[in-house]
A and B are shown apart, each in its own frame.
Chain A
Amino acid sequence: RKEVEQDPGPFNVPEGATVAFNCTYSNSASQSFFWYRQDCRKEPKLLMSVYSSGNEDGRFTAQLNRASQYISLLIRDSKLSDSATYLCVVNSGGYNKLIFGAGTRLAVHP
């Protein structure tokens, strides 16, 4: 079983739609959780950290359920520029080790 699992998609949605991505992780000792965004042939960029209480940054809302080992990302009012691959990332154990999911691809069309 992969340490971090995501639905690969693609999710094809029209502009303005709301889309949700899910992610599960296997290591119950994981400490920190993130969503990264990766554009084609580019490096990943931090979108947002995910906190136990849930957190929001503009159109993006992240939720964490430690009991179910489940992380989600909600994007409201999708823009064309949101088209990218969204990576669920978990910091397992100490020492900054990041475990990446394979990513969920989002394509927003006019």
Chain B
Amino acid sequence: GAVVSQHPSWVICKSGTSVKIECRSLDFQATTMFWYRQFPKQSLMLMATSNEGSKATYEQGVEKDKFLINHASLTLSTLTVTSAHPEDSSFYICSATESAGAYNEQFFGPGTRLTVL
């Protein structure tokens, strides 16, 4: 149980285009989903936290107009990288937890590797 999927697993796009990444909880309802970014040899950095039906909370330094997050249902959250540039090339990973509040284990998706040419 507790499986999280991401799609696509990798994507290559041209500079200036937008890319949408989907994160789905397959066998549980995810009240909260998280989006992380990881550059080579660096730690995972939390970008934003999203709760179903409400606006995402972005971490300091993350542009909300560039990284659009939608969490329209309890099993799906999407991250859209708008007007992507080469510096946005990274490994994007989502995670999901069943309930908010006190700590619950986060289940991670397999990640999406984005390369912007």
A interface residues, Cβ below 8 angstroms from B: 4, 8, 31-32, 41-46, 87, 91, 94-103
Contact = CB atoms under 8 A, between A and B. Distances in A.
A95 B49 contact: yes
Contacts of A32: 103
Given A32-B103, A94-B102, A45 B43 contact: no
A97 B46 contact: yes
B44 interface: yes
B100 A43 contact: no
B43 A43 contact: no
Given A43-B108, A97-B49, 19 more contacts: A8-B41, A31-B103, A32-B103, A41-B91, A41-B111, A42-B111, A43-B111, A44-B44, A44-B93, A87-B43, A87-B44, A95-B49, A96-B49, A98-B106, A99-B46, A100-B43, A100-B44, A101-B43, A102-B43
Interface residues of B, number: 25
B75 interface: no
Interface of B: 32, 34, 36, 41-46, 49, 91, 93, 97, 100-106, 108-111, 113
Q: Which 6 pairs of residues, A with B, have the shortest CB-CB distance? A: A102-B43, A43-B108, A100-B43, A100-B44, A32-B103, A43-B111
A46 B113 CA distance: 21
A98 B49 CA distance: 11
Contacts of A95: 32, 49, 100-101
A87 B43 CA distance: 8
